[in-house]
Every structure is written in C-alpha cells, then in structure tokens.
Structure 1
Amino acid sequence: MVFVGVSRHEDILKSVKVAVELAGGLGVRKGSTVLIRPNANTGDLPPGSTSPEVLRGAIREVRKYNPDKIIVAEKSMTSLDTEKVMKKLGLWQVAESEGVDEVLTFDHMKRWHMKPDGASSWPLGFYVPEMLASVDYMIALPVIKTHWTATFTMGLKSQISITADRDRMRLPHGKHRDLLFGKMIAEANLVFKPDFYISDATKCFVTEGPNIGTLKEPGLIIASPDVIANDVVGLALLKTLGTMPEIQESSVWAQPQIERAVELGLGVRKREEIVIESSGVEEIGAIIANTL
C-alpha cells in the first residue's frame, strides 16, 4: 500500500510538514546528498510555479534528517535563464536563506545521453545532467494544475525539467497531441525518478495552464513517495474543483500519462493500492478518495 498525505492548514509550512508525515515521512538517510527540484518552468507566480513557502517547508523537512548536502536545482523552459526565473519567483532567495549548500540550474551542465529500455516514444533518447548520479535522494515539488497540451502537469511531467533543450524541442506541443506527449512524459521517468513528491495545490489552474487559466485556491499540499499515486490524487482534486472536459469526463486512470506510467511499473497500478490520509481537509480527502 502507498500512502498519500493531503493537508490544509493556515500555515503552508505546517501543511508541508503534516502532509509529509501522513505520507510516511521522507526516506532521507543521515549524511546523504539530497536534491530538491521546485517547478520554475516560467517566471509566472504560483500556480505558474512552486510557492517559495512550499520550497522552504521541503528544505526544513529534509534538514531534520541531517543530510550531508542539500541542493536546490531546476531548469526553466528553453528560452529562459533559469537563475533569473528562480530569483524573480523568490525560490533562489528562499533556498539561500534556508542555508542550502548549493543552488544550481541545469542550464549548462554536462549531460549524459540516455535511452532507457521502454522509452519507445523517445527514439533518439534524451540527455540528463551527470550530477544526478551523485544524488542519494531526490524530491520534486510539482504544482497541481492543468496544461493546455499535456492535459495536466504534476509529478510525472516535473521530470521533463531534467531533459535538455534539444529534447524539449521534440515534445509534441499542440492540441490533441496528448497521447504521444503523455507517453514521452511517463517514459522520461525511467531514469533518475524522484524518491518523493511534495505537490503544491495551494493554488491551481483548472483550465488552460500551465501559466494562465481559471484559478482555484484549494490551499492543499499533497505528498507521496509514489508518482502515480501523487498524480491520480491530483487529478481527482481537479475533478472536485471542476476542470476541463479532458479530465472531468474521464477516469483518472485513463489519462495517457497515467496509463503509460502504469505500463512501465513506475508506481501503483490501481485505486486499491492507495491510502489517503488527510488533515484539516477531511471532507475533501473523502471526496478525492471517492473520485479515484
């Protein structure tokens, strides 16, 4: 069984703490190197990106385990300078103020070419930063929201941030391209997949996305060590809020990203493998559970 923590409290830091605890806690070992990856794809404020306070909460949770090194790193979209984006959003400043060991971008790092078994939608493979091999534990901080061409962007799609610009240019952006896009997103998780997800659902786009759309503010944090569990719970949340037909009128398990992720064995395979624990939001937790 996999636990998903769903938490809502007035203080975002408490929401992060409680959600992580409900999900079973982090698996960080003392003396390890931990990489935290917020969402800073564009310079758009939350929910266009991860809330700085969610990043702060994640750093503080990691520090409880006495790691040897904490790194915060991200890669923005191809036309943007990631350091400038992270500073505009306040993510860089939070990382520095919390005393992390390094704040990095993947923009100009040396990369390895990867073509993992099962990545049939990436015939040319893709390139990932070599530094990922030196990380012992990785945490992604995705935002729960819709995406105009991938349908949704959550834990699975957060993995696209480790790919190179040349790889992103091959992604099939455009309406009605969600099937191939979904498969490519899932397959990017075959290497260096995060160990834990702390998802920002304090604010969500329930239409369009990822940087504009109809805004809802559920005020939630969702946490899980399982990417599929994370994303199907996020999709169920969007359905409770009222979202676009591609999500509202389909099973969360029928989304191309989820179907391919299940085929690849990236996480849970069915609803019965998920246990939702909630705090401060028990009524929504029950509704989400019934929506899966």
Structure 2
Amino acid sequence: MSKAKSLVALAKSDDIQANVTRVFDLMGGVTNVIRKGTTVVLKPNAGHAEPPETSVCTNPEVVRAVIREVKKAEPAKIIVAEAAAIGCNTMECFKVSGIQAVAEEEGVELIDIKKDKDLVKVAVRGFRSNIDSIKLPRFLLEADHLINLPILKAHASMVFSGALKNIKGVVQDKVHMDMHKQNLTMAMMDVWSVCKADINIMDAHRAASGYSPHMPVPIDTHMILGSKDPVAIDRVACEVTGIDTQGVDYFKVAEETGLGNYDMEQIDVVGDSVKDCYKKMWIPYIGDMSTRWPEYDVRCKGGCSSCQALLAINMEELKAVNAYDENAGMTVVIGGLNEIPAKIPDEKIVLHGNCTKKYLKDHPNAYHILGCPPNEPALYLTIQRHETIDGTGDQEDEIIRPCMARDAQVWRDYVFEKFEEYKKENPEAK
C-alpha cells in the first residue's frame, strides 16, 4: 500500500494577511480545518527577548494574521502559548517580540507555559531519548486544535529550525534541560509523540539566515507555508531556501518515527512554486568542518549535524572576540568515531558533547563539555577561558549569559561583515 502524499501550501507576496489566508484556503479553508466553538492554541516561537526586526521570534504580524483567519471559524477561545528558552522570561519575550501587543489588540489570551501549575504527566510510549514521560499543561492537552507557528531560521543547535523544532517550546525548563542532556533530536520526536500540532503555519516572511538563533541575518523571503505534516513543511522550507537537507540529521529520525513525509516525491506543493519563490539562505553550519579552521586540530568523525553547527558558530565567534589566534593548536573533538593520539596534552583537548566522554579514559584532564548538543556558546568560552563551561551549576547565570551580552555587538558586526562577503560570492542570495 503506497504512502499517502502530504500537502504543503506555499504563498509569496508582500501582504502577510493575504499569504496566511491563501495558505489556509489551499489547505481546504479555515472553516474546514478549525471546528466552530472549539479552543485553539497558537504556539509561536518567542524563545528570546528580541524585537521583530531581528527575526529571532515569529513575526507578530504573522501571529495577528493567523488569529484573524482562525476567528473566521468562530472558535470559543484562542490562546497564544509559549515556554521561552532556558533562563528567559516568557512574558518579557512576548512583550519585546511584539506578540503581547498583538494578543491584547486581538483580544486573545496569553499563557506562559513555564508558570502553569496544572500539569499532567504523560507517558512517552516507545520513547527514543531519555524522556520517558513529560509534564504538559492541561489546557494544551485539552485544546481542540494546536497550531504550530514557527519562524524559518538557521539554528546553531539543529542547523535549521522550523516546525519540528518549535514544538520543543511546550515544555518547562526542567524537561527542556533534560532534553539537551542526552539526545535533543530524539527528545524532540518524543515530545511530538505526545503533543502533535494539527496545523503548521511557517513564518518565512523574513527568514533568519546566518548565525541564528542568537545572531541572525534577516532576509526578505516574503513567504508563508502551511501543512498538517511537520516533516513535509520543513523539507519544502529547505527546498525553497537552498538548505542542503543532507546536513540536517533530524529529518531522517522524524521520518523513521512516522511523523511525516521527507521525500519530495511524496509531497504536493500547492500555490506558488518552489522555483518561483526560491531565495538562497546563508547557512554557515553546513560544510566540511575538519579543514575549515586549519589553525586548530578539529576531529569530527561521527559528529552529528547539531554539534557540527555549534562547532561552526563557536570557532567563528573565537575570531570575532580576538581569541582565535592565541588559542591556535587546540584539539577540538566532536563525535564518537575519532582517534586522539596519546601525545596530545590533555590541556590542549576540548571534548564537545556527551558522545565524547569515552575519550576521558585516555585523557582524563581534557576539557569535557556536557550536553547533546551542548550549550550554544560553551565551546568558544571553554577555549577562551581555559576551563570547562557547559552551563552546569551556576554557570548559565554567572558566566554564559554575561559573556554573551558582553560579546554581542562585536559578534554582530563580525556576522554582518561575513554576510556581505557571502553575498558577493553568491549573487542568488541578494
């Protein structure tokens, strides 16, 4: 029996509301996908306190457009809900991103998932990570419809972030931290197994290229995508922006778990064509990592796409903060298929990620950064400070966030300079 095809709606124009309406119409019309008198939860990406022009969070006007479209179906209630990134205040993120103002103007409820006390423990049957159960808000589980509203962006922890990754924001900090400790890709799939979105509407109005999520370079893509299939919508998002999906490990896992279709032959794109909408994104997380920084001994056999992406952002950030040359000669190890010669001194070795723990047997005093994947700036801070920085204990508040704030402007200047160089070499990205 052949596998059913997935439909992905694609609309491109300067008018966000027109794009959202068209996408819903292409999926059968909002009154056919949303039942009258129901409770509808919208889950945007509002993980960090950044304004709309940065493209860190879902564009508030996309949120508004979806709210107005959903209202046509006459739901009983619309809720906008999010759990911001670890260490971030969700309500502050709502406010700075512009989503709070939209919710107030449109008369819908805002909920901070982190502060919700009415949690239900849900077993994850056949779990693939370290997450055998998850506590989720009762309102989320009892909602009639869940609409996933990701923004299309490059991402240091995943190479690319879209519909699949955005559902990670339905859990509170403890579960979020547990997800990073073992295998984030598998944990994402476990969350999807107990919290599936009915519809995915992707904000690709101004996609976030570059060293996103913390230092994106927004590009004018002017697209909205929609699908009931999170795998298919993410695949089409990659096709329309030139992202090499072979460098995104989680697609294979998502298809294996039955979440959706990855093969383009199993996906029907309706509305505008991929060819007509194509806009090349700058994704510096994909490519040969072993030779990109010849001043360092980079060993990345067996490294997943997540750790390779983190390797790219951290090595470049070392350059931005002028700590690259002074630490040249360090051995950086990601992945579990490497060999580390005994002659290399332990103090010259940085082991990045849980899968490199085994190398401590022969190099017990090497710097070992925990996580799967580790904290995003952990590698460059470990090399720069000559101490293991992985976010454990009080490091997140006492070291990591202050250092990120300190280095933000110089890092921003560096990233935008590199983007200008990229555009000169890639005219299709202009």
Is residue 164 of structure 2 the alignment partner of residue 164 of structure 1?
no
- Counterpart residue number, 2:106: 98
Report the Cα distance in structure 2 between the residues aligned to 1:149 and 1:48, rounded to whole angstroms: 14
Written as runs of structure 1 = structure 2, the 5 A alignment for 1:26-175 is 26=30, 27-46=33-52, 47-100=55-108, 102-109=109-116, 110-172=118-180
The more displaced of 215-224 and 54-63 is: 215-224
| 8 Å CA contact 2:160, 2:248 repeated in 1 | no
1:113-149: CA deviations, max 9, x gaps?
3331232212453322122122000101101111112
Is residue 251 of structure 2 the alignment partner of residue 255 of structure 1?
no
The aligned amino acid for 2:176 is R
Report the Cα distance in structure 1 between the residues aligned to 2:273 and 2:163, rounded to whole angstroms: 23
Residue number among 227, 234, 237 corresponding to 2:230 in the alignment? 227
Distance 1:262 1:7, change over 3 A: same
Distance 1:42 1:261, change over 3 A: same
- Counterpart residue number, 1:277: 270
Distance 1:286 1:106, change over 3 A: closer
| 8 Å CA contact 2:239, 2:274 repeated in 1 | no
2:180 partner SS: coil
Aligned-pair distance for 1:286?
12
| 8 Å CA contact 2:56, 2:216 repeated in 1 | no
- Counterpart residue number, 1:20: 24
Report the Cα distance in structure 2 between the residues aligned to 1:217 and 1:181, rounded to whole angstroms: 30
- Higher RCO, Cα 8 Å, sep 6+: 1
The more displaced of 106-115 and 83-92 is: 106-115
Superposition RMSD on alpha carbons, in Å? 2.3
Written as runs of structure 1 = structure 2, the 5 A alignment for 1:177-216 is 180-216=183-219
Aligned-pair distance for 1:34?
0.6
Report the Cα distance in structure 2 between the residues aligned to 1:269 and 1:281, rounded to whole angstroms: 16
Report the Cα distance in structure 2 between the residues aligned to 1:57 and 1:131, rounded to whole angstroms: 23
Distance 1:274 1:51, change over 3 A: same
Report the Cα distance in structure 1 between the residues aligned to 2:14 and 2:264, rounded to whole angstroms: 30
Aligned-pair distance for 1:221?
0.8
Aligned-pair distance for 1:58?
0.4
Is residue 246 of structure 2 the alignment partner of residue 238 of structure 1?
no
The more displaced of 32-41 and 121-130 is: 121-130
1:35-56: CA deviations, max 9, x gaps?
1111100012341001111001
| 8 Å CA contact 2:42, 2:148 repeated in 1 | yes
The aligned amino acid for 1:54 is V
- Stretches (4+) displaced over 6 A: none
| 8 Å CA contact 1:40, 1:49 repeated in 2 | yes
More helix by share: 2
**Structure 1: 5+ residue stretches without partners:** 240-246, 288-292
| 8 Å CA contact 1:9, 1:280 repeated in 2 | no
Report the Cα distance in structure 1 between the residues aligned to 2:279 and 2:98, rounded to whole angstroms: 34
The TM-score, its normalising length taken from structure 1, stands at 0.85
Report the Cα distance in structure 2 between the residues aligned to 1:122 and 1:216, rounded to whole angstroms: 37
1:48-89: CA deviations, max 9, x gaps?
001111001100111111111111111111212211210121
The more displaced of 211-220 and 55-64 is: 211-220
Distance 1:87 1:78, change over 3 A: same
The aligned amino acid for 2:48 is T
1:229 partner SS: helix
| 8 Å CA contact 1:7, 1:281 repeated in 2 | no
Report the Cα distance in structure 2 between the residues aligned to 1:74 and 1:54, rounded to whole angstroms: 16
The aligned amino acid for 1:42 is H
